[in-house]
Structure 1
């Protein structure tokens, strides 16, 4: 039985992963963006190991989430599932894309640094990370014109590089990036072609399995098969440059 924290577990892939792990009798700590969203976990909360609340678009609330998790206890695994494609009810703007960066990249980075180090870390990336090549001097989109697809792709490139940097620099931790596919969630849309059930199986497997394949760190996965990520994600020089930029942006040092 493992102790597992899952960000963004009120719906979609995060909720599906939480349900599967609870059914397997693991101790799962749930996460909701707000108290209002936490109410949607009423059916899972009695069987969970707790619920933490905080908006990962806010640095202060991300710190509070880390504090809440640490107060519950040391996790065996953390699944960094929470993510957004655009900011709801807001036209695409550099400010909106900075929020995408905050949720998809800065929050996983900060939580990795601030939560007591678990044995396993799983980060949700996307196949779209391959279109994310971009200048690290403008990761928060303060200088560029808006481009929703590019901003999302960049954020997912960064989180894939984060996962692989952790694997390289923390050899005692199993760290992986996962492409869950384009699945029919609130973000993916009802017409998404991939299977929702298949979309969460890789991360739950990586969080708990004794399978030798799941116990070799530094993988980029799609439906329980290792794939080759974008070259930048695997490049130690890019990883180091990105980690320095994220430390500068957040004021939190990971390595």
Structure 2
């Protein structure tokens, strides 16, 4: 069985994925924003191996989270599930893009690395200049994250690095009237994280409902990739 860490696992898709993976017999480590949410999460999710605490909106806490995870020993799989939708541009960038970048750079590379993207990334603009970050949209942030996935996949060929579109599902982020099934929204990341088969041993792909889908064309654009990685390195002070 695999050793798995999931960011943003106190509710929504992260919680559901954790519960499914625990049921499959995996060793699952959780993440919550603060002590109160950690306590509540451990009461809701039975059978986890522990929980790490960090507010991804604070860079010092992101670095602390990386240290916490490394102290647990190498993970087989990491799911970057945490994200925000109803937020100002600086928070969208920090939580949806910069935090997963820093965690990727600082945590020992697992065999499977999964980033939660969105179909909305296809409507995003390829932002790479610091002066443009104050106008960043959710779609822009998910385009950046999906492109980061491709960069990491190319840089670490011994790992399987992919992005997942969970669909528009009824979570706090998606809203109660979201039209797609919540359970189906978690199935692809659970499948990639927990099933050892040739079909999950692919890298650099964008999935929805266990199928490879077409991502925004700039995700594979080497010029945008180069500009984006320079931005992330400059904004964080950390080299991938």
| TM-score normalised by the chain length of structure 2 | 0.96
- Partner of 1:74: helix, strand, or coil? coil
The question of whether the paired residues in 2 share the 8 Å contact of 1:124 and 1:180 is answered with: yes
Shift of 1:135: 3.4
Alignment-derived partner of residue 166 in structure 2: 180
Task: Report the Cα offset of residue 47 of structure 1.
Answer: 1.3
Residue 118 of structure 2 is matched in structure 1 by 126
Which ranges of structure 2 fall in alignment gaps of 5 or more residues? Answer: none
* SS state at 1:207 partner: helix
Unaligned runs of 5+ in 1: 88-95, 145-149
CA–CA separation in structure 2 for the residues paired with 1:105 and 1:226: 22
Could you give the per-residue CA deviations for residues 19-39 of structure 1, whole angstroms, max 9, x where no partner exists? Answer: 000011100010001111112
Q: CA deviation at 1:54?
A: 0.4
1:99 aligns with 2:130: no
Assess, with a 3 A threshold, how the Cα gap between structure 1 residues 195 and 76 changes in structure 2: closer, same or farther: same
Residue correspondence of structure 1 range 1-255 to structure 2 within 5 A: 1-43=1-43, 47-87=47-87, 96-138=88-130, 141-142=133-134, 144=135, 151-254=137-240
Deviation at 1:214, TM superposition (A): 1.1
RMSD value over aligned CA atoms?
1.4
The answer to whether the 8 A contact 2:19-2:45 is kept is no
Aligned length: 240
Give the 3 Å change call, closer, same or farther, for CA 21–44 of structure 1 in structure 2.
Answer: farther
Partner of 2:239, secondary structure, is coil
TM-score normalized by the length of structure 1: 0.91
Per the TM alignment, residue 73 of structure 1 is displaced from its structure 2 partner at its CA by 1.1
SS of 1:79's partner is: strand
| Structure 1 runs (4+) greater than 4 angstroms displaced | none
Judge conservation of contact 2:159–2:203 (CA < 8 Å) in 1: yes
1-side partners of 2:132 and 2:190: how far apart? 31
The answer as to whether partners of 1:178 and 1:220 remain within 8 angstroms in 2 is yes
